[in-house]
Amino acid sequence: MKPILLTMQAFGPYARKEVIDFSRLGNRKMFVISGKTGSGKTTIFDGISFAIYGRASGDDRVGADLRSQFAPDDLITEVSLEFSLRNETYFIRRTPQQAKKKARGDGYTLVNATAELYVIDERGEQKLIASNIRETDEKINEIIQLDANQFRQILMIPQGDFRKLLTSNSKEKEVILQRLFRTELYKKVEDQLKDRANSLKREVEFGIAERSRILKGVAHNGHEGLQVALMEQPLNDLTVLALLQEVQVTMNKELVAISENITQQQKARDEAKRKVDAAEDLLKQMTLRDQLMVSKNELEAKKDHFQSLKRDVALAYKANKLHHQEGLCQRLKRDIDGYKARLEAQMKQIEQVEQEVEKKKHLLELEEGKQERSEELQTEHTNMLHMRDDVYSFAERQADVEKQNKRLQALRRKIEGERQRLLQINEQFEQKKAELAPIEPLRIAIMEYEKQEAEAGTIIDGLADILADDEKARKGQEQLRAKDQLLLNIRSKVEDAKATLTTIESQWLQGQAAHLASKLENGEPCPVCGAEHHPNPAQLAQSERSEEDLQAAKRAVDEGEKELQQMERSYFQVKTEWEMMQGQVNKKIEQLKKLIPGFTFEQIDFFHQEYEQKFAKLKRNRTEALTKVEQIPRLVTEMNQLEVAIKEINELVEQSMNAEKKLAIEHAEAAALLNRLSKTIPEPLRMKEAFDQKLLQIEQARKSLDASLNEARNQFTDVSKKLAQLNGATESLQTHIDDAEKALKIERDIFVRMLQEEEFESYKMYAEAKKDQAEINQIEEAIQRYYEQYRSTLDRLADYEQRLKGKEKPDVVELEKTLKETELELTQSSDQHARMSMQIRQNEEIEQAVAQINRQLKTFEEQYNLIGELSNVTKGDNAFKLTFERYVLASFLDGILVAANGRLTKMSSGRYRLLRKTDRSKGNVQSGLELLIFDQYTGQERHVKTLSGGESFKASLALALGLADVVQQHAGGVSLETMFIDEGFGTLDPESLDHAIEALMDIQSSGRLVGVISHVPELKERIDAQLEVIASQTGSKTRFLFTS
């Protein structure tokens, strides 16, 4: 992986957007990152690591802590990285979970973390390949083939980690190496071998128990020896299987005899069944014959009805022949009725129109008598037109004089108003100036309020989180206590069930012994011990237990143990969740202790209330200050506006006074001219509006008379035309009526003649005979069905009469009784055969199952011998007390030391060499991973803790580089184009520093890009490329410096 472009926004000490372009290095393979302490050098490593994995380069820095405190509230924390890998270019962008200031109102809203990954093609276009955190993490691991821990130890070496590796004990090294080499697999091998060995052991124990359980289910068929063998504890499977063979031979012989008896019984049953079937068939035929006789009688009773239906159909066909002629007559009659209705309506309309003609004629005569008044109005209108120019001139002059007078008065009022307004604005300006003076210092106070409020808000949120998590933890603890009590109850229940099983089993065995003892006789050997004398035989107890009681008790124990296992799993799950919740609470408490002096959980309510009050007070102070400061722009703007207004009003007053003088002269001249005009025009006509109104009234009156006359003439003409049209339409309708009545008479005569030809005596007889074709079809079909059914019934009746001629009714009840008796005998024999077959088959299945179990037991025992031994070896039960995982870690460490010693020998001029301590530690202390240093000057080994500061750093650096080489080999083809080292070189003497630099030069000579964080001047002199980090009060900046 080779970085190309790193962009950090509101990240660490970088307040806004900071862009680091690594492509500016060109062909340079090494650069130094320099800057003051705390300026943000390590943050560059954090940015690269966070962009790729969502985690910083150190475990003590998490996403939420990486936000810049210099950044504005509205700027989102974001990191993006463009990098190349295996001839591909990628772009990744991430944002951590963070609080963002609300756009409206006070407070913050929580923004979730995001991640996006793109691949960049040859044209520079980005193609999205992952759009969320889960997809991006999966794709990054697939592309880089390193997880975050491997990346940090191979490509990015943070401060302190490898000095810890050098001096740590075996246990601490084990944890570090486990993280680097992911040896969880070998631990899993140990655990899986252990689990497999325990599982095999349980399988063997279960197989033996299962074999005994299955054997107890054999059918002994009264065999006493087998019964005794089944009661032995432990059960001897070989003895039981041998006796079972004898039982199977006896049962097979009995089964053959039963089968022969069943064959004879089946023949008797089949004969009885045949006789019953024949009798039932004969009875069925006799019943059908009787039913057909009844049907024949019923059909003959309906014969007259269907003869009548045949006659109705014939009449319907005749009536249908007259249907068309009847429709023609009806159609003509409807036409005549329509014509007469229209004629009657037109006659009424003619009467109304004649009355209207008389009215219009009278109205026309009245309008013609008003023409003399119209001529008088025309003369008066002409005289008024001659006077119009003089009137209009007077009205305009009078309006001008009045308008000038109003303007003059208004201008004088305006001048006075502007003088008063000028006094008011001067007073307002002084008031605004007095308001602004005490507000200016509040700007600085607001910034301090905001800072303190944000700190208090963070603490309040943290306290609230702790209270919420503590409440969850307390509920989890209550749930854990409830689970613990349930676990105790179930354990007690299981112990009670086991005690009950022991008691029942003892009572059952005693009962079995008593049953055997009851059959003993002196002089005959005991089937158990072989003795011929029986001085103290077992007695039957009053509380004898059955086999069912014993099996029920065993099931109760099995069910109880299953319930116990389920409850134990549930208990440990709840316990684990509670411990995780409690750990979260404790972690958050430790974080708050850094922010709140003297904080303890017991005083959390006090601190919560105190910071709530502090937050509220700060918010009030800030709000009050903001309210006042927000007035500054308004006050300044208003003061500027007031100054402008004062200037403008002074200029306006001066202009208004000049206009007032000019307007007074113009008004006096216009008034004199108006006075001269008023002497020549009569007073009623001086006003233009009155003159125009009078002229309009005369003109409208004349036009109204003319329009009324024209309207009367038009109306009289229209109504006269309408009357003539109605008279013509009436004559046409009467002609249609006469023609239709003649045609109707002819068609009616034809219809009457057709009735007589079809032999209908009256129209009523014809109407009753009419039917549509669908109804005729239904009647004809019913007639046909009737005659077909009648003919079929006669034919079938004759057939059954012929079949049953001379036959008597059989006694079916007696025949069925005989059949049931034979079937009962056969069923009993079949049941006996099935029981015997089932017992034989059950015994065979038991033999097969036991054989299968024995084969499995043999396999399990052989596997357990091997797996159990391997489990003991891998878990450390060996001469070296060394587990499998630690053995593998020791092998990795040996490889690291070989690579590290190649560099350490050179850096120490051949004096030092790292060794792994192989001696076993005393007691059970874990060993095998501690380091020693071999000193060529003394020829002796000693612990690495005895090295000086400079020597320790050289050994740590050599170990770090050796580890990088081994991990690269172990990573299996992982591309390592870049390496970052965050370590101090200040403890080295000049010669050692040269050797260390040479070791780093060896790394870059392989083509890897090497970045080093250091304050050592020699490094800056030897390396011509520097990435300088510059800190300031507003945040840090970066720049590349090149010396050649």
pLDDT tens column, 739-757: 888 888 888 888 788 878 7
Residue 978: Cβ-neighbour burial (10 angstroms; 0-12, 13-18, 19+): buried
Alpha-carbon span 146 to 140, nearest angstrom = 8
The pLDDT assigned to 93 comes to 95
Residue 756: Cβ-neighbour burial (10 angstroms; 0-12, 13-18, 19+): exposed
Sheet holding 126-130, edge to edge: 14-21, 2-11, 78-85, 88-95, 114-120, 126-130
pLDDT tier for residue 533 given thresholds of 50, 70 and 90: low
Point out the least confidently predicted range of 2-6, 520-524, 653-657, 1012-1016.
Answer: 520-524
Q: Taking residues 971-979, what's their average pLDDT?
A: 60
Tens-place pLDDT, residues 382-421: 777 777 777 777 777 778 878 888 888 888 888 888 888 8
Candidates 853, 799, 1026; CA nearest to 210 is 853
Point out the least confidently predicted range of 176-185, 213-222, 339-348, 708-717.
Answer: 176-185
pLDDT tier for residue 983 given thresholds of 50, 70 and 90: low
| Overall pTM surpassing 0.85 (yes/no) | no
Alpha-carbon span 553 to 551, nearest angstrom = 5
Tens-place pLDDT, residues 816-825: 888 898 888 8
Alpha-carbon span 61 to 34, nearest angstrom = 21
The pLDDT assigned to 953 comes to 74
Could you tell me whether strands 931-935 and 912-916 are parallel, antiparallel, or unpaired per DSSP bridges? antiparallel
Task: Give Dmax (Cα) for the chain.
Answer: 181
Task: State yes or no: pLDDT of 102 exceeds 60.
Answer: yes
480 and 578 Cβ atoms separated by less than 8 Å? yes
Half-sphere exposure of 691 toward its Cβ, with a 13 Å CA cutoff?
21
Coil/strand/helix, residue 931: strand
Residue 933 Ramachandran class (φ > 0 left, ψ -120 to 50 alpha, else beta): beta
**Any residues with CB less than 8 A from the CB of 455 and at least 6 apart, and which?**
595
110 and 99 Cβ atoms separated by less than 8 Å? yes
Phi, psi of 217 (to 5 degrees): -95, 10
Point out the least confidently predicted range of 91-95, 250-254, 784-788, 882-886.
Answer: 882-886
Task: State yes or no: pLDDT of 958 exceeds 50.
Answer: yes
The domain ranges of the chain are: 1-145+983-993+1002-1044, 323-369+688-759, 372-437+634-685, 442-629
pLDDT tier for residue 973 given thresholds of 50, 70 and 90: very low
The pLDDT assigned to 193 comes to 84
Coil/strand/helix, residue 939: coil
Alpha-carbon span 823 to 842, nearest angstrom = 28
Sign of CA dihedral 310, 312, 313, 314: positive
Residue 438: Cβ-neighbour burial (10 angstroms; 0-12, 13-18, 19+): exposed
Coil/strand/helix, residue 916: strand
pLDDT tier for residue 21 given thresholds of 50, 70 and 90: very high
Point out the least confidently predicted range of 24-38, 77-91, 615-629, 893-907.
Answer: 615-629
Residue 130 Ramachandran class (φ > 0 left, ψ -120 to 50 alpha, else beta): beta
Could you tell me whether strands 1025-1030 and 30-35 are parallel, antiparallel, or unpaired per DSSP bridges? parallel
Task: State yes or no: pLDDT of 918 exceeds 90.
Answer: no
**Any residues with CB less than 8 A from the CB of 928 and at least 6 apart, and which?**
170, 880, 882, 886, 887, 889, 890, 916, 917, 918
1014 and 34 Cβ atoms separated by less than 8 Å? yes
- b/e map 344-382, b = 16+ CB within 10 Å: eebeeeeeebeebeeebeeebeebeeeeeebeebeeebe
pLDDT > 70: what percent of the chain?
89
Tens-place pLDDT, residues 595-652: 788 888 778 788 788 888 888 888 888 788 778 777 777 888 888 888 888 888 888 8
Alpha-carbon span 161 to 744, nearest angstrom = 126
CATH of domain 1-145+983-993+1002-1044: 3.40.50.300
Alpha-carbon span 55 to 94, nearest angstrom = 10
Alpha-carbon span 720 to 350, nearest angstrom = 11
Name the token pair of 722: 């309408």
